[in-house]
Amino acid sequence: MLIEDNLTFRKNQDAYFDKADIAKYNWQTKHPYISSAEKELLPKLHGKRVKRFLELGCGEAANIALLDVRPPTIIGVDLYPAKLQFAKSQHEYADFVTSDARSLPFPNCSFDFILLKDLLHHIPDADKVLKEAKRLLVPGGRIVVIEANGNNPLFWLFGTIIPAEKMVKRNTINWLKSLFGVLGNDETLSVETKQPFPLFRILFHYRFGLPWLVRIPGITAIPNFVNRTFEKTLPKSHWSYIILHYKKLDPERQ
């Protein structure tokens, strides 16, 4: 089993996430190479007329910082208050709520766009999170889930080395699609994969790598070449990120 027991799992999560990781936030939002790669993964809100945006598991709110447009209402939810305190200091235009994503303090049909990035592999009963997200979604609204792929060699290694990331190894396209099955078959779901072999996430990593290397002229050609090579040779089912787009159907428009 990937989870030894709930107590051990929770302790690993708390030890890893209960403090604001400011260095990671700066790496995601300000590093010239990584910030572009992070933006590439995020959904494009421009043109979708998003008015009420919710991110579950927002952490320090790096994803909110990188959104291509700023909806009128933005709310970030996370389990760890220290992360949200930092998030609020960076994003006064947004609201932040401390809550378990499996039981959220919002009424039905509160949001028209909900983002979950790198959250589900931290929750054993992840299906409950998706059920809550659907409850909060207006008819015609969208959920986007972005998860690291446990079939990708880099993320399999990541999940092996770091106890708090252990469950990333259960993430596959089929497993994630099966989670959405609990929402019913009357909705629409599409899946894509991105970033075949992101060596740059190790090479420029803020903790394990050398992020300053990006200042060396021509250095980015190395991870670019590696990514292009694996794009041709690695099956898409093993690319590093799985992105699922879910739309809640609107009965009035059927």
The region that residue 195 occupies, defined by phi over 0 for left and psi between -120 and 50 for alpha, beta otherwise, is left
Strand partners, 192: 243
Q: Which parts of the chain register pLDDT below 50? A: 1-4
Q: Which residue from 177, 186, 181, 185 is spatially nearest to 250, judged by alpha carbons?
A: 186
Whole-number Cα distances in Å, 189 to 161, 174, 249: 32, 12, 11
Q: State the Cα–Cα distance between residues 239 and 136, nearest whole angstrom.
A: 30
Residues 6-198+236-249: name the CATH superfamily.
Answer: Vaccinia Virus protein VP39 (3.40.50.150)
Q: In the prediction, which pLDDT does 94 show?
A: 98
Q: In the prediction, which pLDDT does 89 show?
A: 97
Strand partners, 95: 75
Question: Residue 125 burial by CB count (10 A; 0-12/13-18/19+): exposed, middle or buried?
Answer: exposed
Q: What is the pLDDT of residues 133-142, one digit of tens each?
A: 999 999 999 9
Greatest alpha-carbon pair distance for the chain in Å reads 56
Q: State the Cα–Cα distance between residues 11 and 17, nearest whole angstrom.
A: 10
Q: Which residue from 110, 56, 59 is spatially nearest to 85, judged by alpha carbons?
A: 59
Q: In the prediction, which pLDDT does 182 show?
A: 80
Q: What is the pLDDT of residues 16-70, one digit of tens each?
A: 899 999 999 999 999 999 999 999 999 999 888 899 999 999 999 999 999 999 9
Q: State the Cα–Cα distance between residues 179 and 183, nearest whole angstrom.
A: 8
CA dihedral 126, 121, 72, 66 (to 10 degrees): -170
Which residue has tokens 């598991």? 57
Helix (H, G, I), strand (E, B) or coil at 50: coil
CA dihedral 212, 150, 153, 197 (to 10 degrees): -50
Q: State the Cα–Cα distance between residues 61 and 207, nearest whole angstrom.
A: 19
Strand partners, 34: none
- Residue 137: half-sphere exposure toward Cβ, Cα within 13 Å: 24
Q: State the Cα–Cα distance between residues 24 and 2, nearest whole angstrom.
A: 26
